A and B are shown apart, each in its own frame.
Chain A
C-alpha cells in the first residue's frame, strides 16, 4: 500500500509534502 502522497520508483518511494502555496518538499526513501 503506497501512502496517498507518494509515488513508487525503481529505487524507492518519492513522497510529497507541501510547505506553503509556493513551496514543497520531495523526499526520497530508497
Chain B
C-alpha cells in the first residue's frame, strides 16, 4: 500500500486498517509514518524523496510532490509527500501524488504508465499536466484526482495531436468528491 501524503483524502487510518492484511506492506513518507500505529510501523517502508525500496516483486522509488505556484505552495510543501515510480517487470509506473509539474516530474525517463493529478487549486491545470506529459512522454497517462472542473477535458484536448501519448480519460468518479 503506497501512501503519498497525510491529507485526509489520501490517508485515513481506519481505511488502512480495513484494507491491510497481516502481510500488507506499506510505503509511506515521514508524515504518514508518524501517524501509523506502532504495530503497523514495523511493516512500513519509510521513504524520503529520492530513496528507493525493493519490495520483493517490484521496486519503488520516492519522488518529490509539491506546489510551485506561489499562492498554492501552502497546499503541498516540498519534501513532505512522496510521488512514486514503480518498476514492475519491464514497466515503469509513475504515481505523481498531489503536485504541480515540478522539474523532477518533467525529467522522468521511460515511463510506461502515469497518473497525473489535476484540480485547482491543489494540483495542476489541464494545460500544466499536458505540458508535463509532453516533457516526460509517458506511453499511457491517466488523469486522476479531478472533480467537476475542466481540467481532464483540457488535458485530453491539449494532447489530442500527440499520437505517442495515449490519454485514458475514464468516467471513473461517480461521486467525484468521495
Contacts and interface: CB of A to CB of B under 8 A. Distances in A.
Nearest to B57: A28
B43 interface: no
A5 B91 contact: no
B112 interface: yes
B145 A21 contact: yes
A26 interface: yes
A12 to B, nearest CB: 7
Please report whether the interface of chain B is mostly helix, strand, loop or mixed according to DSSP: loop
Given A7-B112, A7-B113, A18 B173 contact: yes
Contacts of B133: none
Interface in A1-30: 4-5, 7, 9-12, 14, 16, 18, 20-24, 26, 28, 30
Interface in B89-126: 89-91, 93, 95, 98, 112-113, 115, 119
A9 B95 CA distance: 17
A28 B88 CA distance: 8
A7 B176 CA distance: 25
A24 B114 CA distance: 12
A18 B168 CA distance: 12
B111 to A, nearest CB: 11
Given A14-B113, A16-B142, A22 B90 contact: no
B12 to A, nearest CB: 10
Contact of A9 (B89, B142, B147, B173): B89
13 contacts: A7-B91, A7-B113, A9-B89, A12-B89, A20-B173, A20-B175, A21-B176, A22-B7, A22-B10, A22-B98, A22-B145, A23-B10, A28-B88
Task: Give the 6 A-B residue pairs with the shortest CB-CB distance, closest first.
Answer: A11-B89, A9-B89, A10-B90, A18-B172, A9-B91, A22-B9
Given A7-B91, A7-B113, A21-B178, 10 more contacts: A5-B168, A12-B89, A16-B142, A20-B178, A21-B146, A21-B173, A24-B115, A26-B86, A28-B88, A30-B89
